[in-house]
Amino acid sequence: MIKDKTLIKGKVHYVGVNDRTKHSFENMWPLPYGVSYNSYLIEDEKIALVDTVDACYFDVFLHKIKNVIGERPIDYLIINHMEPDHSGSISLIKHYYPNITIVGNRKTFDMIEGFYGVTGEQICITEGDTLELGYHKLTFYITPMVHWPETMMTYDHTEQMLFSGDAFGCFGALHGGFIDARINTDIYWNEMYRYYSNIVGKYGSPVQKALQKLSTLPISAICSTHGPVWTEQIEKVVGIYNQLSLYEAKEGVVIIYGSMYGNTEQMAECIAAELSAQGVKDIVMHNVSKSHSSFILADVFKYKGIIVGSPTYNNQLYPEVESMLSKIAARDIKGRIFGYFGSFCWAGAAVKRITEFMEKTKFEVIAEPVEMKQSMKPDTFEACEKLAQAMANALKSK
Ligand code: FEO
């Protein structure tokens, strides 16, 4: 039986909160399993709080803090990341603990003042600086763009714990327990793909730099800002972040299409059936009017082959396809093989528009696009099958 339910290790406590109310993270990305905003309290001669939580949960947060330290004041507030899901309670913490010293880097303080008008006692750290709390010794690592420019990580030498900010995080609220060793972690793996691809996906190169910087540290626990505290599955978590930030993908195809009356969808079905006949097992089809873009993006990060299809709409792409392509382009995804198709009723534009999108990406086009007027004809079936065969061959040759 666990006596102290907030304790992670030594004198480090979990004081984060769960959000099962919000529908969309950043007002964009659905949260079917909720999300946690993690914060950590290091109880020592000096007390340090690492990050805060969404301001909506401040009462719960303060209650959790007081349950651990009672009326003792907090000496330091370490800000690893300033996005308001974590920084939202800074001014309230400052109000309740007016003598607190805020620890961050130059870019952190610019944002704290800009967002919250908070100034006062501060320690402005640079790479490798340390802070002694008594028994605990902390070192700070600057890790810009994982996920904002001010992002940094805090490493506790005493317990070998890494407070990693958004890195290694995932969607999904925590149900009862918060340490991987004590909970069923099944729901978090797909949510890690979705979290990474939606939120951090553009920043593969900064994530790689951070991973290299941290690679020599002995780590017994990863304490990120979202999702479980990782102790037993550190290797798997770091492996997923490494793979995603290198844009490495599985042999499989994601077919992304729009369709108003089902004709363009028939092209997608024909391509998928031929891919399967060619031995491709992992095929995921997304109708953009039904699948949320966050799930589509996760699959684009997961699979090597991408095939996009769109009807022509007002001499442009189908708007949902256009929106999806812009989300893919914004993430600078590398190393994908790409095929596409389009349809029109009286004047074709979809294929032309996807060609323009293609020219802005680093994707490799595996075949000529297929263009269809109005509905499937024998030559459309043949062309779709050829596109699928080219994709299957390209996948096998990689
Ligand atoms: Fe969880 Fe980039 O904030």
Number of H helices, E strands in the chain: 12, 23
Token digits of residue 256: 């992304």
DSSP codes joined into one string, 54-101: -GGGHHHHHHHHHHHHTTPPP-EEE-S--SHHHHTTHHHHHHHSTTPE
Tens digit of pLDDT per residue, the chain (398 long)?
778 899 999 999 999 999 999 999 999 999 999 999 999 999 999 999 999 999 999 999 999 999 999 999 999 999 999 999 999 999 999 999 999 999 999 999 999 999 999 998 899 999 999 999 999 999 999 999 999 999 999 999 999 999 999 999 999 999 999 999 999 999 999 999 999 999 999 999 999 999 999 999 999 999 999 999 999 999 999 999 999 999 999 999 999 999 999 999 999 999 999 999 999 999 999 999 999 999 999 999 999 999 999 999 999 999 999 999 999 999 999 999 999 999 999 999 999 999 999 988 889 999 999 999 999 999 999 999 999 999 999 999 97
**Beta-carbon neighbour count of residue 213 at 10 Å?**
14
Give the per-residue pLDDT at 120.
86
Is residue 70 within 8 Å of 42, Cβ to Cβ?
no
**35: part of which helix (H) or strand (E)?**
strand 35-37
Give the nearest ligand 1 atom to 169 CA.
1
Q: Atom 3 in ligand 1: which residue has the minimum CA distance? A: 83
Rounded Cα–Cα distance for residues 71 and 62 (Å): 11
**Ligand 1 center–CA 195 separation, angstroms:** 10
Give the per-residue pLDDT at 360.
87
Q: How far apart are the first and last CA of the chain?
A: 51
**Ligand 1 center–CA 190 separation, angstroms:** 18
**Ligand 1 center–CA 19 separation, angstroms:** 14
Give the nearest ligand 1 atom to 147 CA.
2
3-class SS of residue 167: coil
**277: part of which helix (H) or strand (E)?**
helix 263-277
Q: What is the 3-state secondary structure (H, E, C) of 125-157?
A: CCCCCEEECCCCEEEEEECCCCCCCCCEEEEEC
Torsion, Cα of 75, 67, 10, 133 (10° steps): 10
**158: part of which helix (H) or strand (E)?**
none
**Ligand 1 center–CA 166 separation, angstroms:** 5
Residue ranges around ligand 1 (CB below 6 Å): 81, 83, 85-86, 147, 166, 225-226
Rounded Cα–Cα distance for residues 12 and 159 (Å): 9
**Ligand 1 center–CA 360 separation, angstroms:** 28
Within 13 Å, how many C-alpha atoms sit on residue 275's CB side? 29
Which pTM was predicted?
0.95
